[in-house]
Amino acid sequence: MIKDQQEENKKESVEMMASEETYMTSGAHIGTRQKTADMKEYIYKVRNDGLYIIDVNETDKKINIAAKFLTKYKPENVLVVSVRQYGQKPIRKLSEYTGIKVLDGRFRPGTLTNPSSRGFLEPELLIVTDPLADSQALHEAKNIGIPVVGLCDTNNELKLLDIVIPTNNKGRRALALVYWLLTRAIIKEQGKIKSYDDFKPTIEDFEAEL
């Protein structure tokens, strides 16, 4: 029985897109001191200092699910946004390798809902780096009825999201890792690479400058 469990654990670790250690060293597991009821299922534990810890196995699983979902759409019909500074370089890199449209920095009200707005866009799917920081884009996506994929920390609500990637969505290294993994998974789904080893850019390439 123990041997079977060990084999199962080994199998699961092999199937992860990144090791637990990689997630931990990037800080992807470090949540906030706030927890919403929505995020409860993705929380592994609460630390002595009050920080909630995200289950990185769920993070890994959800990145894979999100990548499969995203590749059902033409890249030019997908928009990724980040008001947060540390998310801006990672989303530009995602765009560079996948062809997904990017809007980094301030999101102008009406971008998705007002055809006469400067820079008006008509995506079929939206990716938000933080549902709180990117709330304008999130609400506009819901107004026009398109699905949304969101990177969610322990303090986020999920009611307007279709797919959740539970992660630290504020940390520089954490955002670089998650978008690096998502990019790699998408281009593998697109058939541009045969294995993850064929993806040559590094996590550091996705990391925002200090």
Rg (CA), the chain: 17
Domain range spanning residue 184? 2-206
Q: Are 54 and 30 in contact (CB under 8 A)?
A: yes
Ordered per-residue pLDDT tens for the chain, 210 residues: 444 444 444 444 447 999 999 999 999 999 999 999 999 999 999 999 999 999 999 999 999 999 999 999 999 999 999 999 999 999 999 999 999 999 998 999 999 999 999 899 999 999 999 999 999 999 999 999 999 999 999 999 999 999 999 999 999 999 999 999 999 999 999 999 999 999 999 999 999 998
User: Which among 32, 34, 62 has a CA at the least distance from the CA of 161?
Assistant: 62
Looking at residue 108, which CATH number applies to its domain?
Answer: 3.40.50.10490
Task: Give me the number of domains the chain comprises.
Answer: 1
Between β-strands 43-46 and 52-54, what pairing exists: parallel, antiparallel or unpaired? antiparallel
Q: Is 84 exposed, middle or buried (0-12, 13-18, 19+ CB in 10 A)?
A: buried
Longest dimension (CA), the chain: 65
Threshold 0.75, pTM exceeds: yes
Q: What pLDDT does residue 73 have?
A: 97
